[in-house]
Each structure stands twice: as structure tokens, then as C-alpha cells.
Amino acid sequence: MAGLDTVAGRKLRGYLEVPGTEVRIPYTDVRGVKDGPTLLLSGGVHGGEYPGIAAAIEVASRLDPQELHGRVMVLHLTNPPAFWGKSQYWNPLDGKNLNRCFPGDPEGSASERMAARVIQELRQANYWVDMHGGDIHEELVPFTIFSDHASDEVRKTSEAMARAYGIPRLIRSGSVAGGSYAAAAELGVPAILPESGQVGQLDPVSQAIHVQGVFDVLHLLGFLEGDPTPHTAPQVYTRFVWSRASQQGFWRPRVHPGDRIALGALAGILHDVYGETLEEVRSPEAGEVLFTASSFAIGADDPLFAVAAP
């Protein structure tokens, strides 16, 4: 395409305007000198998941168009209102979780319009890596999710991307309504959602896990020459069960991410303002705890912890 030739070998910076809102999503569009596919890379769909945002910034800065086959479209900060509002899970413009809004609606609320704008970019892409981590009040050990509800081809490629990313825990996920990798699977685009980082910290180790993972995926898919780093076989989980609070309360977790837990074992206690137990929260599954809420304040239906099992 003649239009593409004029920008091959360049990095283009700009903002995706989200029609009907004030939201502008900053991007770097890296156009390789050589032909190839397109990968969409996003950070900050959740505004308090800082290592993924910093990793997007770092990858955009390090990618060299002279070495790149194809195109990498980097969304540095996909949810600016949540980031600047220091808001976990929710976009302050409409109180919605952007990662439950895909594929979005260009006539909908702010988050639905933002989701639709991202999906417009995804339609031009062959792959999607959507970087997450524990949010401001989430303790978490790293893991990578991909959709099991996809065509064989999409599922196989997604799993290969997840393995190349190098995080030693993989989750073959059922369909999460409105989630990024589920929307990608619907469109026939292989996608992964790696989680690295926790509790509102910008820690360099979690950022480095994302950056290395992205470069390994780019090697795997032929965007960059050379092989991805070899990794030992990951633990693969097919069940990922979240427990939510039945009521508002003060949360005292008894387990932490990385702990093994038995079916029915005590995972934590919700108590009232006087310290009287409201509920002993027990594990609905035997497996590995991958996430716990670190907030003392818990609202009804807030997530408390999640357990993964083979």
C-alpha cells in the first residue's frame, strides 16, 4: 500500500480520540521497514496497574523500526480517566470496569465508547497483548490468561503467545463477558492477558516481566528476528474461581497469593466495625491462591480472592 510506504521505518506518536468524550488515548505506532503483521499492545486498561503502563512506555521507546517486521501499535495508557483519578477497577467517568465493556458501543457510556475505539484498532491487528497486574488494592502473583472459547487456530496461537511470555502460570479461561481476550476471540484475533504487578506499586521487577514477555512474543511471531527465550513448562490451570463479598465489611485475609488452599479452608474473615465476625469466607476450590484483596474496606460484591486449579 502506497500510504504505508511513506511511514515505514518510523514511529508515529499521537492520541486516539474517543468520539463523544474528552478521552484521548496516547499511542506510539511503530512501523517496521519490513512487511509483516500487526500487534496491538495495551497498558493501563485498569488505571492503577502501573507496571503494564510503564512497560508499554518502555517497549514503545525501545522498539527499533529498522529491525521490525510489520507494525506494533502501542496504547501506553488505555484508560486515562482511571489513571489520573487513581481509581482501581472503575472509570470515574461512568463507574464502569473497562475490561467488562469490550467490544464496546460507540453510542454508549464513556467506557463503552473507549472500548469501541480500542476494538477499532484491534480490527486492524493480527494479535493483542493486553498487559495487566494487581490493581491498587490487589495482591497478586503473576499469571497469563488466554481464552479457551475460541477457534482451534486462535486458541493454539494464543497459548503459544502465553507460553512465550514466560510467566510460569497459565490460565485457560472460559469466556469473561466484556473482557479483552474474549472480545478478541470473537473477532478471531489471538490474544493474551498477562498479569504482573500488585497493590498500586510501580515495581521494576513486574515491569521487566512484561517488557521481556512482549519482546519474547515479538520474536515468537516473527516481528523480530531471533528466537524467544526458552522457558520451563508452566503450570497450566483450567479453573479460575473468584470469591466475592456477600456484604460490606472489614476484610482480614488469612491467605496470600502463592499459597495452596484446600476446598473449604478458611481464606479470610469479614467482620463488622466492632470486630464481630460477619462471615468466615471459605475456599470454593482446592488450588493456588493467585490474588487477594488487600483493602481493609470491602463493599458488597467486591472481589476477595481467586483460586486457580488444574
Given the rule CB under 5 A, which residues bind Zn ion?
A: 46, 49, 132
Partners of 86 in the β-ladder: none
- Residue showing cell 463523544: 20
Compute the distance between CA of residue 171 and CA of residue 148 in angstroms, rounded to an integer: 9
Smallest distance from Zn ion to CB 99, Å: 6
Nearer to Zn ion, 140 or 220 (CB): 140
Report yes or no: 268 and 281 within 8 Å, Cβ to Cβ.
Answer: yes
Minimal distance, residue 197 CB to Zn ion, in Å: 9
What is the three-class DSSP state of 183?
A: helix
What's the min distance (Å) between Cβ of 5 and Zn ion?
A: 37
**Shortest distance, position 74 Cβ to Zn ion, whole Å:** 17
Contact 164, 228 (CB under 8 A): yes
Distance from C-alpha of 234 to C-alpha of 67, rounded to nearest angstrom? 30
CB of 138 vs Zn ion, minimal distance in Å: 8
- 138: closest CA among 303, 273, 307? 303
Beta strands 303-309 and 169-173 are unpaired
CA-CA distance, 237 to 145, in Å (whole number)?
9
Q: Left, alpha or beta for 218 (phi > 0: left; psi -120 to 50: alpha)?
A: alpha
User: Shortest CA distance to 217 belongs to which of 39, 10, 37, 11?
Assistant: 39
- Residue 49 or residue 121: which is nearer to Zn ion going by CB? 49
Q: Three-class SS of residue 249?
A: strand
Minimum CB separation of residue 274 from Zn ion in Å reads: 34
* Residue 95 or 264 with smaller CB distance to Zn ion: 95
| Nearer residue to Zn ion within complex by CB, 132 or 169 | 132
Q: Which is nearer to Zn ion, 46 or 96 (CB)?
A: 46
Cβ 298 to Zn ion shortest distance, Å: 18
Q: Given the complex with Zn ion, which of 70 and 134 has the nearer CB atom?
A: 134
Q: Cα–Cα distance between 116 and 274 in angstroms, integer?
A: 46
DSSP 51-76: HHHHHHHHHHHH--TTT-EEEEEEES
Closer of 110 and 193 to Zn ion (Cβ): 193
